[in-house]
Amino acid sequence: MLVQRKGRMVVIEGCSVDIDHAVNSLRRLGASRVLVQSPLGLRKIAARVGQILAEKGFDVAFSSSNCWGGCDIAYHEAAAMGADALIHLGHTPFLKKDRTQTIYLECRYAEDGALKSLVPEITETVKGFASVGVGSSVQWLDCLKVVVEELRRVGLKVLTAKPSMHAVETAQVLGCDVSALKTLENSVETYLVVGSVFHALGIALLTSKPCFAADPHTQKVKNLWEMRERILRQRHYNIERFKKCQNVAVLVSVKPGQKKLGLARRINSMLKNYGKNSCILAADEITPSTILENTFEAFVNTACPRLSIEDQSQFSKPVILPAEAMVAMNALSWEEVVDEGLLMYPWGWTGGQAADKFWRPLRMVTT
């Protein structure tokens, strides 16, 4: 079934794209030179969007760089290219303010067939629970109804919620923001995330409730408990490795939505007070070669938390998260981090008390 959405959507490569919104916005802004940015997976859609805009008379260039999320907007490239406006594909707005006028064009799947055919397995998987919190990557949001309706039909209490951090839509999860699910923790027995394992792993790491990823592309429903436990063991192992390192660096991303310079400076000071040789290391794209060829033995990563979670195995040295650094300095216990969901960005979705545990020691240092 073709999912209906507001506005006159064009379907490109199976995704609804609101070209009218882009054209009208660019005209309203008086923009003529436009930079089109997209994550690698949406480059074909980007090419078509750019082509349509060029046909409408806009002077279009594309960004070839990686794009890891709504946190990673190509303001720098746009400025260098003299672009009046950015068209950013595939993510909802993450930043409160854009340095270059940015039009966010979501690319939601227009067809719910792949998800529909997964519904029986989803139902079979979660029917033993009385209640389920449902989330989704932005791509699948328009199709979510088929899951919610069927689960309700078989008698489950199905809850969705508004996120409170960077995600925008009800039920939407980002790699770093599962607040739309975390907020339901006292009301549901389990979680279901429609999208990739990547999108479901976020909540799985921050709750001890069972979490399932339903991925229409792979046609699989996956219980994430084993993966969660494996990753938490890896994280703990890397905290232990970090403790033994003397020369460490605190990574600060210069990507507009990943830059946490104040946090990094506080952690850096805390590490020095704790007796480490620590310094600040600026980064844009973080790759094994760019960080490993430095002289540091270990890193604290204040950039994208998923870098530590997904890519640690690529790095021969520990790349631990801020909360993990607090554990390494005995300012938090590992059990607190795990039990209270402090691993990623604890200030976003935890109640005041839990977030305060994270911030209290940091507030006490001078930078």
Which residues bind to a copy of itself, rule: CB under 8 A?
35, 40, 43-44, 47, 50, 54, 60-66, 74, 76-77, 80-82, 249, 251-252, 254, 259, 261, 279-286, 289-291, 293-295
Cα distance between residue 22 and residue 149, in whole Å? 32
Q: Are strands 85-89 and 33-37 parallel, antiparallel or unpaired?
A: parallel
Cα distance between residue 189 and residue 181, in whole Å? 12
Residue 55 or 335 with smaller CB distance to a copy of itself:
55
The three-state secondary structure class of 84 is: coil
Residue 43 or 236 with smaller CB distance to a copy of itself:
43
- On whether the CB atoms of residues 46 and 38 are closer than 8 A, the answer is yes
Please give the DSSP secondary-structure letter assigned to residue 307: H
Cα–Cα distances (Å) from 16 to 45, 89, 143, 294, in that order, read 10, 11, 12, 44
Closest approach of a copy of itself to the CB of residue 340, in Å: 31
Residue type, 173: V
Residue 154 or 282 with smaller CB distance to a copy of itself:
282
According to DSSP, the residues that pair with 15 across neighbouring strands are 12, 109
According to DSSP, the residues that pair with 298 across neighbouring strands are 248
- On whether the CB atoms of residues 216 and 115 are closer than 8 A, the answer is yes
Q: Are strands 298-301 and 319-320 parallel, antiparallel or unpaired?
A: parallel
Residue 198 or 225 with smaller CB distance to a copy of itself:
198
| Greatest extent of the chain over all pairs of C-alpha atoms, in Å | 61
Cα distance between residue 52 and residue 26, in whole Å? 13
Residue type, 278: S
Residue 39 or 348 with smaller CB distance to a copy of itself:
39
Closest approach of a copy of itself to the CB of residue 280, in Å: 4
Q: What angle do CA 121, 124, 128 make, to 5 degrees?
A: 150
Residue 147 or 251 with smaller CB distance to a copy of itself:
251
Residue 273 or 294 with smaller CB distance to a copy of itself:
294
Cα distance between residue 13 and residue 45, in whole Å? 6
Of the candidates 30, 42, 141, 139, the one whose C-alpha atom is nearest the C-alpha of residue 88 is 42
Residue 99 or 127 with smaller CB distance to a copy of itself:
99
Residue 221 or 252 with smaller CB distance to a copy of itself:
252
- Which residues touch 124 (CB under 8 Å, ≥6 apart)? none
Cα distance between residue 138 and residue 126, in whole Å? 22
- On whether the CB atoms of residues 260 and 231 are closer than 8 A, the answer is no
Closest approach of a copy of itself to the CB of residue 287, in Å: 8
Residue 186 or 289 with smaller CB distance to a copy of itself:
289
Closest approach of a copy of itself to the CB of residue 188, in Å: 38
Closest approach of a copy of itself to the CB of residue 297, in Å: 12
Closest approach of a copy of itself to the CB of residue 313, in Å: 18
